[in-house]
């Protein structure tokens, strides 16, 4: 069936296939599916690596605030995972630059915000994935602070 779909659509191997899902109550959703999604993530990481440290810093701060805004307001949580993963990619790219454009006190502020988000999320019993992501960010910031103090 998959082979027939790819032959019928004339897609180039590795390109996106367009799927249109029609909900019984009306309305449509278009999904892009492919095996090349991993390649897309790799190309995003390459693009981030090519940016200047100032630009990566700017993108990371915006993504960081966006993720925490979703956590605090509980609005748009259906896209939280994608947004958080993008923020983590930007954070990883930020740490690759030497020297890191964020001073230690700024990292400490970010860590404090993460700790607050972890505690408030934990008290309300939110999903373990959110808790896992926040702990991962916290460990990354702690590691940077430790390494920069050496």
| Residues in the chain, overall count | 150
The parent domain of residue 9 ranges over 2-33
Rounded to two decimals, what is the model's pTM? Answer: 0.55
Of 137 and 39, the structure prediction assigns the larger pLDDT to 137
- In this structure, the answer to whether residues 70 and 85 fall within a common structural domain is yes
- In this structure, the answer to whether residues 47 and 94 fall within a common structural domain is yes
By the 8 A CB rule, do 93 and 49 touch? yes
Report the distance separating Cα 140 and Cα 60, nearest Å. 14
By the 8 A CB rule, do 93 and 73 touch? no
Report the distance separating Cα 119 and Cα 117, nearest Å. 5
Can you tell me the mean pLDDT for 64-78? 88
Token match 């934990």: residue? 122
pLDDT digits (tens, 9 = 90+) for 115-134: 777 777 665 555 566 667 77
Give the count of domains, the chain.
2
- In this structure, the answer to whether residues 141 and 76 fall within a common structural domain is yes
């Amino acid at each position: 069936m998959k082979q027939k779909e790819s032959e019928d659509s004339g897609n180039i191997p590795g390109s996106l296939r367009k799927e249109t899902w029609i909900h019984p109550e009306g309305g449509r959703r278009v999904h892009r599916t492919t095996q090349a999604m991993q390649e897309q993530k790799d190309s995003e990481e390459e693009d981030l690596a090519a940016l200047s440290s100032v630009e990566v810093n700017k993108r990371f701060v915006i993504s960081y605030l966006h993720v925490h805004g979703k956590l605090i307001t509980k609005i748009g949580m259906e896209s939280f995972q994608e947004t958080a993963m993008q923020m983590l990619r930007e954070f990883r790219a930020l740490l690759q630059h030497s020297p890191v454009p964020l001073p230690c006190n700024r990292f400490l502020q970010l860590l404090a915000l993460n700790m607050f988000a972890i505690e408030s999320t934990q008290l309300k019993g939110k999903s373990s994935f959110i808790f896992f992501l926040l702990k991962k960010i916290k460990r990354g910031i702690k590691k940077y602070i430790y390494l920069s103090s050496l």
